[in-house]
């Protein structure tokens, strides 16, 4: 049976870029037809417009919320920071995808405790909800980031602790599988560099880049969801799934997007909390990282949670965006996967 067949699913932070794509993919039935999907987030406006999008309606009055309670896809206002709200949302749920996060690096630097409350306390509330309320949840997938690997910024630090909270929860909740996914920059997600470049090019402005040597891992939203699905298919516990994806210099991303319309590039200097290169698997994690098709899988940091089988290490050095960068047509083809708007822009 497919892993989501007849399951009741909760997606925290379900109105975000990843959350919306995840919900759309779940609704295709490729992983099985769920009994119900609940989008849990604190933004009523985003929920309203997401609801209309899924109903294929441009406008509606508030009465749509009443009909929504009987639909396969439903929406619930709440915040992962609020333990009582998390408990209420998780009652009767089989699988939880925790996509709720404060994820913008500078915002987290200026408001570190806000990041702690969402990214750390939110994960802790999910674990506590299961531990203290005998909930029927069987799988919980935490959505992490490459910035959690050797973190130097608040966002990465809080996401690294989210990973550890979920991994550790496997020890005293043996009936639940807690796994994580870790991936790099999602092309064209809200607040990312590609939409900024597109806007600057359309306006004929200089393109702003922090440093000439800056590199990033790049993947589409669908590839990010593929990674989440890989984690939910697994029978393992305490694992972190990392996709094998391309990396590129940001100056090459700008060059491909500009095409024949070359504009000046302004180097603005590194922002608070930014790395020059991102890492998805550290050299310390290499000895417990195995290869599974298109993914690296990091075994749990706690030795008692690791499998007893002899494992062949997949990596001998850290997995960094500094290595094996793509450019030119290969990079253009990758950017084409970012969605209809970017694809149309590249065909202009």
Q: What is the dihedral of CA 25, 17, 79, 147, to 10 degrees?
A: 110
* 149 contacts: CB under 8 Å, gap ≥ 6: 156, 160, 182, 278, 279, 280, 281, 282, 285
Other Cβ atoms less than 10 A from the Cβ of 322: the count is 14
Q: By three-state DSSP, how is residue 309 classified? A: coil
Type and span of the H or E element at 319: strand 319-320
DSSP letter, residue 336: G
* 154 contacts: CB under 8 Å, gap ≥ 6: 105, 108, 109, 112, 115, 273
Number of residues assigned to the chain: 348
Pairing of strands 177-181, 240-243: parallel
- Alpha-carbon distances, residue 41 vs 45, 69, 74, 171 (angstroms): 10, 16, 12, 28
- Cβ-contact 142, 179 below 8 angstroms: yes
- Cβ-contact 18, 220 below 8 angstroms: no
Rounded to whole angstroms, the Cα distance separating 6 from 138 reads 13
DSSP letter, residue 118: I
Which of 103, 139, 147, 159 does the annotation list as catalytic? Answer: 147
- Alpha-carbon distances, residue 254 vs 166, 183, 263, 265 (angstroms): 37, 21, 9, 9
Answer yes or no: 147 catalytic. yes
Active site residues: 147
């Amino acid at each position: 049976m497919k892993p989501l067949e007849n399951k009741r699913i909760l997606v925290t932070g379900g109105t975000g870029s990843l959350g919306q794509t995840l919900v759309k993919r779940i609704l295709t039935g490729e992983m099985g037809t769920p009994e119900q999907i609940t989008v849990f987030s604190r933004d009523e406006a985003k929920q309203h417009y997401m609801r209309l999008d899924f109903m294929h309606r441009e406008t509606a009055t508030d009465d749509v919320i009443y009909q929504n309670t009987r639909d396969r896809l439903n929406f619930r206002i709440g915040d992962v920071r609020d333990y009582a709200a998390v408990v209420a949302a998780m009652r009767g749920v089989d699988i939880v995808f925790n996509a709720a996060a404060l994820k913008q690096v500078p915002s987290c630097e200026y408001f570190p405790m806000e990041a702690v409350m969402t990214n750390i306390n939110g994960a802790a509330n999910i674990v506590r909800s299961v531990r203290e309320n005998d909930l029927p949840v069987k799988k919980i997938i935490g959505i992490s980031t490459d910035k959690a690997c050797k973190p130097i910024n608040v966002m990465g630090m809080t996401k690294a602790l989210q990973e550890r909270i979920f991994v550790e929860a496997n020890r005293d909740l043996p009936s639940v599988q807690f796994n994580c996914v870790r991936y790099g920059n999602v092309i064209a997600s809200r607040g990312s560099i590609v939409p900024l470049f597109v806007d600057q090019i359309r306006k004929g402005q200089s393109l702003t880049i922090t440093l000439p040597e800056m590199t990033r891992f790049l993947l589409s939203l669908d590839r990010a969801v593929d990674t989440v699905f890989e984690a939910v298919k697994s029978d393992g516990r305490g694992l972190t799934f990392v996709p094998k994806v391309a990396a590129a210099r940001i100056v090459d991303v700008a060059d491909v997007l500009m095409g024949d319309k070359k504009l000046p590039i302004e180097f603005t200097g590194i922002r608070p909390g930014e790395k020059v290169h991102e890492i998805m698997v550290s050299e310390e994690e290499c000895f417990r990282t195995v290869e599974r098709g298109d993914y690296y899988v990091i075994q749990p940091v706690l030795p008692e949670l690791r499998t007893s089988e002899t494992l062949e290490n997949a990596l001998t050095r850290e997995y960094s965006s500094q290595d094996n960068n793509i450019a030119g047509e290969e990079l253009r083809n990758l950017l084409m996967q970012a969605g209809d708007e970017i694809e149309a822009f590249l065909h202009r």
